[in-house]
């Protein structure tokens, strides 16, 4: 009998526990659809972004890029890395040392086409902005044409910068050798160029891009700035020899004191992605970046889906970007 009583009490406790568990199970089943309505929090990912040397346009753009993505999707943690510029960014992407990187148009062209190297297996995340290449001199300088600058000391920019390559192509289109027909000076930091022009160490500084920091420093100096670009006939000569370059105009008001537009030659710069970068990560980057178009910063004004589709070389748009554009109806 004692055993029967103990068993009875045990069974009662077991029955109560089973009933409690069943009630909890029913509550869970009823609640499951409600939980399913809320997507799981996006997984935090880390991305390394290669820019260029301090004082140039790429670090400024990179900072704006990071801020725009983080504002929309804070789970994407982007580390901006200063590099020597476009010519270093491409091999670092290929080696997997960078996930994405800013690359100037002429370097993109040479890398994808395999000019002087094997073709690079890199894809476009977004178009950045077009760059019109030109020289800047002091406003009181006697130099007004490219011919005036022949034989003079020229700061072509940081050695690894794509702007140096743009200058080489532009001069070659005019039958000039940037390394032989001028006194070339290459910089450790792009930001060192303006001081060299202002104190007379060089006659001119080569660069490009609306709002470019080197040009902005010159334009805001007490001596002021004047820009020297190819004239209409020279532009046609350059484009005739190097048709991958495009006519690009620096709009009026791009810099203080620049009251008229300045036609020149140049190309689009791009954010490129390394081989094997997960498509989902690229999709999330594209979604965040182009969602931020609703409130663009000055640096990202040209970084749009429309410009990316128009400027990207055929077959080079990253599948993750293409998927986002299709889902968002931006591919039409």
84 and 146 together in one domain = no
313 assigned to some structural domain: yes
Whole-number average pLDDT of the chain: 89
Average pLDDT over residues 223-248: 97
230 and 306 together in one domain = no
Of the candidates 227, 242, 267, which is a domain's last residue?
A: 267
User: pLDDT tens across 48-107, in order?
Assistant: 999 999 988 999 999 999 999 999 999 999 999 999 999 999 999 999 999 999 999 999
27 assigned to some structural domain: no
31 assigned to some structural domain: no
181 and 244 together in one domain = yes
226 assigned to some structural domain: yes
18 assigned to some structural domain: no
pLDDT at res. 162: 92
Where does the pLDDT of residue 21 fall: very low under 50, low under 70, confident under 90, or very high at 90 and above?
Answer: very low
5 assigned to some structural domain: no
Structure token digits, residue 270: 């791009």
Where does the pLDDT of residue 160 fall: very low under 50, low under 70, confident under 90, or very high at 90 and above?
Answer: confident
154 and 240 together in one domain = yes
Whether residue 12 is predicted with pLDDT greater than 50 in this model: the reply is no
247 and 184 together in one domain = yes
Residue 223's domain is classified under what CATH number?
3.40.190.10
15/183: higher pLDDT: 183
Average pLDDT over residues 155-183: 95
Residues 6 or more apart in contact with residue 325 via CB below 8 angstroms: 286, 305, 309, 331
Average pLDDT over residues 271-289: 97
pLDDT at res. 232: 98
Where does the pLDDT of residue 226 fall: very low under 50, low under 70, confident under 90, or very high at 90 and above?
Answer: very high
pLDDT at res. 332: 64
19 assigned to some structural domain: no
DSSP category for residue 88: H
Whether residue 16 is predicted with pLDDT greater than 90 in this model: the reply is no
Q: How many domains does the chain have?
A: 2
Q: Is 185 in contact with 156 (CB distance < 8 Å)?
A: yes
115 and 80 together in one domain = yes
User: pLDDT tens across 191-200, in order?
Assistant: 899 999 999 9
Range of the domain at 310: 45-130+269-327
263 and 137 together in one domain = yes
77 and 187 together in one domain = no
pLDDT at res. 282: 98
17 assigned to some structural domain: no
297 and 241 together in one domain = no
275 and 156 together in one domain = no
Whether residue 209 is predicted with pLDDT greater than 90 in this model: the reply is no
Average pLDDT over residues 3-29: 40
Whether residue 142 is predicted with pLDDT greater than 80 in this model: the reply is yes
113 and 167 together in one domain = no
DSSP category for residue 2: H
Structure token digits, residue 160: 């690894």
Of the candidates 230, 247, 267, which is a domain's last residue?
A: 267
User: pLDDT tens across 97-141, in order?
Assistant: 999 999 999 999 999 999 999 999 999 999 999 999 999 999 999
Please report, for the chain, how many H helices and E strands are present, in that order.
12, 10
288/19: higher pLDDT: 288
Closest among 297, 288, 293, 320 to 306, alpha carbons compared: 293
pLDDT at res. 331: 80
Q: State how far the alpha carbon of 312 is from the alpha carbons of 45, 243, 250, in Å.
A: 26, 16, 21
Of the candidates 267, 291, 316, which is a domain's last residue?
A: 267
Whether residue 206 is predicted with pLDDT greater than 60 in this model: the reply is yes
Whether residue 11 is predicted with pLDDT greater than 70 in this model: the reply is no
Separation of alpha carbons 162 and 269, rounded Å: 9
27/188: higher pLDDT: 188
239 and 170 together in one domain = yes
Q: Is 230 in contact with 242 (CB distance < 8 Å)?
A: no
């Amino acid at each position: 009998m004692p055993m029967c009583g103990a068993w009875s009490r045990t069974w009662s406790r077991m029955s109560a526990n089973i009933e409690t568990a069943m009630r909890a199970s029913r509550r869970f089943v009823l609640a499951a659809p409600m939980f399913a309505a809320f997507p799981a929090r996006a997984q935090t990912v880390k991305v390394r972004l290669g820019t260029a040397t301090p004082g140039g346009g790429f670090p400024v753009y990179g900072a704006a890029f990071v801020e725009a993505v983080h504002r929309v999707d804070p789970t994407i943690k982007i580390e901006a890395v200063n590099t020597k510029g476009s010519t270093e960014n491409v091999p670092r992407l290929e080696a997997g040392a960078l996930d994405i990187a800013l690359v100037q148009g002429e370097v993109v062209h040479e890398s994808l086409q395999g000019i002087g190297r094997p073709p690079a297996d890199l894809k476009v995340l977004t178009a950045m902005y077009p760059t019109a290449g030109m020289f800047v001199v002091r406003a009181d300088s006697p130099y007004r044409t490219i011919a005036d600058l022949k034989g003079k000391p020229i700061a072509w920019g940081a050695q690894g910068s794509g702007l140096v390559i743009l200058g080489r192509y532009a001069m070659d289109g005019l039958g000039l050798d940037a390394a032989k027909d001028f006194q070339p000076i290459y910089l450790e930091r792009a930001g060192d160029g303006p001081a060299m022009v202002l104190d007379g160490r060089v006659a001119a500084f080569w660069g490009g891009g609306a709002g470019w920091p080197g040009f902005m420093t010159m334009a805001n100096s007490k001596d002021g700035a004047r820009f020297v670009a190819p004239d209409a006939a020279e532009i046609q000569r350059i484009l005739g020899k190097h048709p991958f370059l495009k006519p690009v105009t620096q709009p009026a008001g791009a810099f203080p004191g620049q009251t008229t537009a300045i036609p020149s030659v140049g190309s689009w710069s791009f954010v490129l992605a390394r081989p094997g970068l997960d498509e989902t990560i690229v999709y999330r980057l594209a979604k965040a970046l182009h969602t931020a178009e609703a409130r663009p910063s000055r640096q990202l004004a040209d970084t749009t889906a429309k410009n990316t589709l128009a400027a990207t070389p055929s077959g080079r748009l990253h599948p993750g970007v293409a998927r986002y554009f299709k889902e968002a109806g931006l591919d039409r």
